[in-house]
Amino acid sequence: MDVSVRIGGLEVAAAGDDVRLVTVGLGSCVGVAVIDTRSGAVGLAHVFLPEAPPSGAKPGAGAGTYAATAVPELVRRVARAGGPQRTQRLVAVLVGGATMFGGGRPGQDIGERNVAAVTAALTAAGVPVVASEVGGTHGRTMYVHGGDAADVRVRQVGGAEQVTWSIGPPMRAGATLEQRRAA
């Protein structure tokens, strides 16, 4: 069963849950998957902005809206879903952060700022980024599966779904599903 993670959303699935977390429309937004490599619990946040405005979070903002608050919450929930909290068994995969509206001045590109904020928050939480598909100028859809065969797949607009990271047997980054099934 697919569970949709909307802009600003955050969802977690325990290893035994028969779900696939999906987020669409990752342009300048960043999809952050956190995977517990021991239990197979997974989580996905669709981060919209690097941080809340100085006036504070907007009313109704989802748990995944701002990188600075989404990442710690995602790490906490995945660690809880996977058993005793031990961040050393958690890893992260990032997707998105594209330049969707033309180049701006250095440091002004929201996609780059989102990727930097998410990466900094993951570093602060002690969670390594093991794979990423960020930047460029195209939107993406991200699929996160948990359990013993946990993986993260990405489909770029107009492209085929590809495996970006897998907990299973080593798989080269960018392998298509057909190539993975044949391996």
Q: Give residue 44's pLDDT band: very low, low, confident or very high (50, 70, 90).
A: very high
Domain 2-182, second-level architecture: 2-Layer Sandwich (3.30)
Where is average pLDDT lowest: 38-47, 52-61, 131-140? Answer: 52-61
Question: From CA 142, how far away is CA 149, in angstroms rounded?
Answer: 16
| 140-145/129-134 β-pairing | unpaired
Nearest to 141 by CA among 45, 24, 33: 24
**pLDDT value for 35:** 95
Question: From CA 169, how far away is CA 69, in angstroms rounded?
Answer: 33
State the average pLDDT over residues 33-37.
94
**pLDDT value for 177:** 45
Q: What percent of the chain has pLDDT over 70?
A: 85
28 or 86: whose pLDDT is higher? Answer: 28
Type of residue numbered 40: G
19 or 87: whose pLDDT is higher? Answer: 19
Please check whether residue 152 is in contact with residue 93, taking contact to mean a CB–CB distance below 8 angstroms.
yes
Residue 17 has pLDDT above 70, yes or no: yes
**pLDDT value for 122:** 97
What residue spans define the domains of the chain?
A: 2-182
Residues 6+ positions from 92 with CB-CB distance below 8 Å: 32, 33, 34, 35, 122, 127, 128, 129, 130
- Helix, strand, coil share (%) of the chain residues, nearest 5: 20, 35, 45
| 66-78: pLDDT as tens digits | 999 999 999 999 9
**pLDDT value for 169:** 54
Read off the pTM. 0.86
